[in-house]
Chain A
Amino acid sequence: MKALGRITALLGLALLAALPLAAQGTAAPGPGPEVRQRCWGVDPKAPVLIEVYSDFMCPHCRTLYLETMRQVLADYAAHGKVCVAYYEFPLPNNKHSRPAARYAVAASRLGPQKWVQVMDVLYYFQDDWAQNGELEPVVARALSEKELAQVKTWMKDPKLEAWIDRDVAEGKRRGVGSTPTLFITANGKTEKVAGAVQYGILRRYLENLLAQR
């Protein structure tokens, strides 16, 4: 029993030693300089920046987008309080994620309104296309024939693939291991939040950040 007591004490000391490593996780890497150019919202210089690393085939990313981020876009980004930037982070195991990301990035060239509409249909109809990879009929719900043709042309641009690769590389540099992962920057500090946070809970945090300005 004494030996067990000593082992327990040693274990406790080891855990105490590990605590500083755990506590360091709070300070997340900050955003890159060009993020404000790609953020969605009426004010690129909004006081709060939310960056989302997302995979179109990920069910939790779908939950986050449809139940949380759409509300954030409507209630905060549209009023200049928050700037939202979405980054493509297709996971290697998800076969159709990268093609979906290509559609979204290409659609963003049509403007933020069309980008959001394409995001809407890709996430809303995720169950449909995730099984068979038939993305074009889904994207066609959000675009006219002319717009869809334009998007398909842009999808052949090698810069588009490079854009996605850059997003993935930057995500890995910032410690993104899975999706969805959010980085929320305000008042000079960036916090990393993993998982599909509920809108009401995120809103409480945003209101607290905005009140501190």
Chain B
Amino acid sequence: MLGGLFLYAGFTKVFPPEHRFLFEMTVSAYRLLPEWGVIVVARALPWLEMGLGLVLMFGWLQRYVAAFVALLLGFFIVVMSITYARGVEVNCGCFGFGEAVSPLTLARDSGLLLMAVYLAVIPWRRPPPAS
């Protein structure tokens, strides 16, 4: 399920093609990166999200991928929280555009983080196979 959400999140940022420019403006509005950095992140991140989503959906290397996803989500939440706390209204850019960062979006992304942590933790807790 988390994989599906990530796949969708990445997809909405690149299709239709004009969404790529909208996502660039979303990243730019955070005022954290120079212009070249904005373009690199905005172009690479959606494909990373789609790749991670696919890998999660198929369950490959689940513990490692889910752990990476959890770190990524944690980073997003920290950046959005700081921006929100500064009183700057920016688009979340999470699933589509026009959705401002708000307590609701932060809560929703925190829910995704919990899902990722759960997926990362489960494989470690599986009982060893019977000999």
Contacts and interface: CB of A to CB of B under 8 A. Distances in A.
B38 interface: yes
B100 A194 contact: yes
B118 A5 contact: yes
Contact of B91 (A11, A193, A200): A193
Nearest to A192: B98
A130 to B, nearest CB: 15
Contacts of B99: 22, 25
Interface in A1-55: 1, 4-5, 8-9, 11-16, 18-19, 22-28
B95 A195 contact: no
B125 A1 contact: yes
A125 interface: no
B22 interface: yes
Nearest to B94: A22
Contact of B25 (A9, A26, A28, A201): A201
A9 B90 contact: no
B111 A191 contact: no
A12 B97 contact: no
Interface stretch (A105-113, A135-143, A202-210): A202-210
A196 interface: yes
A208 B18 contact: yes
A113 B125 CA distance: 69
A122 interface: no
A8 B96 contact: no
A23 B16 CA distance: 13
B1 A195 contact: no
A114 B117 CA distance: 57
Interface residues of B, number: 40
Contacts of A202: 25, 28
Contacts of A192: 91, 97-98
Interface string B48-78: 0000000000000000000000000000000
A177 B88 CA distance: 10
A86 B118 CA distance: 48
A70 interface: no
A192 B96 CA distance: 12
A66 B69 CA distance: 38
Nearest to A21: B99
A63 B90 CA distance: 14
A90 to B, nearest CB: 15
Contacts of A27: 98
Nearest to A68: B28
Contacts of B96: 22-26
Q: Which 5 A-B pairs have the closest CB atoms?
A: A195-B29, A25-B98, A12-B1, A178-B89, A205-B21
Interface of B: 1-2, 4-5, 8, 12, 18, 21-22, 24-26, 28-31, 35, 38-39, 87-92, 94-100, 108, 111-112, 114-115, 118, 122, 125
